[in-house]
Amino acid sequence: MNILGINAYHGNASAAIVCDGRLIAAVEEERFNRVKYAAGFPAAAIRYCLKEAGLMLADIDHVTVPRNPYARLGTKLFYAVRMPSFARERVKVLAKFTGIREALAAAFDSNPGKLKAKFHRVEHHVAHLASSFYCSPFEEAALLSADGLGDFASSMWGAGFGPRMKVHGSIAFPHSLGLYYSAITQYLGFLKFGDEYKVMGLGAYGDPEFLEQFREIVKSNGAGFTLNLKYFTHHRTGPEMSWAEADKTPVLGKLFSDELPKYLGATRHPEEAIEQRHKNLASSLQVRLEEVYLGMLRQAAEQTQMKSVCLAGGVAFNCVANGKILDQTRFENVYVHPAAGDAGLAVGAAFYLWHQVFKQPRSFAMEHAYWGPGFSVAETRAAIDEAKLASGGFCIAQLDEEKLLRETAKIIGQGKILGWFQGRAEWGPRALGNRSIVADPRRPEMKEVLNRRIKHREIFRPFAPSILAEASGEWFEKSHPSPFMTMAYAVRPEKRDRIPAPTHVDGTGRLQTVTKTANPRYWKLIKEVERQTGVPVVLNTSFNDNEPIVCKPQEAIDCFLRTQMDALVLEDFLITKS
Ligand SMILES: [Fe+2]
């Protein structure tokens, strides 16, 4: 049975294919259309998934969409009556979703009547929960999803047992941890979609001086939390995030009310310098999030009496909060879906159908994130030839693996910046050793060098370490796996001076634990770095420059040339300046 999951007309548009209970491919549309967080219809992602599976559209038995316009209809009607603009928006959204069959047929020049696939809907947070539980290695687990908003809910929790999952509760609009974080992110002068990550990094430089105020902004209650709505606007202006029709980039309206600066002090303008007060506000925001999030997890542990927890939703990308779960709850195992944001809905909706609807047994665990496009050596060679690198002052060597890794590790150890491209592209927003920029973690200046030459990011944002999984306990205070860079753990104090570049100001690192089975070549590279330098770690940042992560060899070459990296590994080819 072939199931196609489609996250369409929503941020992080994506597609995934599950054949007889095994994931074959999953990818975000942004990797093809090169628009970060692109919404719209993911035609290119669907085309790729079909190609990878060796299928035609006619071979798809079921299409599943992680959206149910009929979920929480009563609450929606209540708001529709109060807000005519919201009602108009709902009608537009409904029209789009009822047209998915037509959009799919149109993308393949087919007649909608000829599609034999049956279409299904899975509620947004149910798909988030499914994305995490059904990809986890756990036979049973507590489940939690938390984000901004989807199908009029912002959080959902439940439990999974084998092929079945059960929802225990949810929190509906307008109360949302994701929107709380986004609103304060805007208030602090970070206005772009996805900037929450920056503010989380900034929080490490501050103290939670404003925690009492933030406890008034997000109030705890028995079931979880409520927002103090006088500080917000989304309950008055409407909950739908909009998308620029032209290029499908997300547009976020102002989420906080004029009461917020009256309560916390003046907002920060994006151009304004970041002062200690802003850092303390970011810290307070984060600490309050952790209090509520970890409280919900403690409650889930109590309710389910389970040892493992599966997480998804945008809030599950908060690696700082995730890093505290093992210490502050009874959970002993944590699994976070690598595409915990809305891209992951495509995978979740597909597995939900296979297990929960069709009652099929479990046979799959997502132990790596390499579900996107890959390229043959011949295709890579063609891209190198087309870029005329050989005549452009570059030395190109095709090497066997042992020599390639030895030379590459040497380049890293010399403090040079290396583009590292191999295998299939990562699923989710983190580069995990297949589309990465890799550098020496021992050099304190590396963060500044990377920012100046390549990444052009705010200097307060940390870079992340990839570490041999078997060495993680020696270097970090936790050895629990973090294969998808979704946990921040404290670096052991005696090791902090040895890997200063990816150690954040608070002594933590958002680590990727690399196993030989999940990514053999990347593991061998880090092993060789360890042999040459004594440190089983590399600094790993995504292969891009303010754009979606590179997907094709051509894009890697363009980024390499544009940003003046020192060397580039493209599959078996080592490219250096001659
Ligand atoms: Fe979501």
- The whole-number pLDDT of residue 69 equals 75
pLDDT, tens digit, 9 for 90 and up, residues 25-40: 999 999 999 988 888 8
Measured distance CA(158)–CA(348) in Å, rounded:
15
Ligand 1 center from residue 149 Cα (angstroms): 6
Element counts in the chain: helices (H) and strands (E): 21, 23
User: pLDDT per residue over 207-230, tens digit each?
Assistant: 999 999 999 999 998 768 999 999
Dihedral angle, C-alpha 168, 171, 173, 177, nearest 10 ° = -130
Ligand 1 center from residue 314 Cα (angstroms):
6
Tokens of 133: 């539980």
Asked whether the CA dihedral 395, 401, 403, 404 is positive or negative, the reply is positive
The sign of the CA dihedral 403, 409, 413, 417 is positive
Per the DSSP assignment, residues forming a β-bridge with 507 are none
Q: From ligand 1's centre to the CA of 150, what distance in Å?
A: 5
Neighbours of 93 (CB within 10 A): 15
151 CA → ligand 1 middle, Å: 9
pTM: 0.95
For helices 401-413 and 520-533, angle between their N-to-C axes, nearest 10 degrees: 50
The amino acid that residue 517 corresponds to is T
CA-wise closest residue to 355 among 158, 162, 159: 162
Distance 549 CA to ligand 1 centre (A): 21
Please tell me which residue, 89 or 288, carries the higher pLDDT value.
288
**DSSP bridge pairs for 4:** 17, 63
Q: From the CA of 128, how far away is ligand 1's center (Å)?
A: 7
- Tell me how far the alpha carbon of residue 140 lies from the centroid of ligand 1, in angstroms: 23
CA of 423 to the centre of ligand 1 (A): 28
CA distances from 503 to 327, 506, 507 (A): 20, 8, 6
CA of 555 to the centre of ligand 1 (A): 29
3 state DSSP class of 50: helix
Q: How far is the CA of 477 from the centre of ligand 1 (A)?
A: 31
* Orientation angle between helical segments 276-304 and 196-203, nearest 10 degrees: 100
**Per-residue model confidence as pLDDT tens digits over 404-416:** 999 999 999 999 9
Q: Sorting pLDDT into bands at 50, 70 and 90, what band is 11?
A: confident
**pLDDT tier, 192 (very low <50, low <70, confident <90, very high otherwise):** confident
Q: For residue range 505-556, list pLDDT tens digits in order.
A: 999 999 999 999 999 999 999 999 999 999 999 999 999 988 999 999 999 9
11 CA → ligand 1 middle, Å: 9
Kind of pairing between the strands at 333-336 and 418-421: unpaired
What does the alpha-carbon distance between residue 203 and residue 277 come to, in Å, rounded to a whole number?
Answer: 11
Give distance in angstroms: CA of 28 to centre of ligand 1: 14
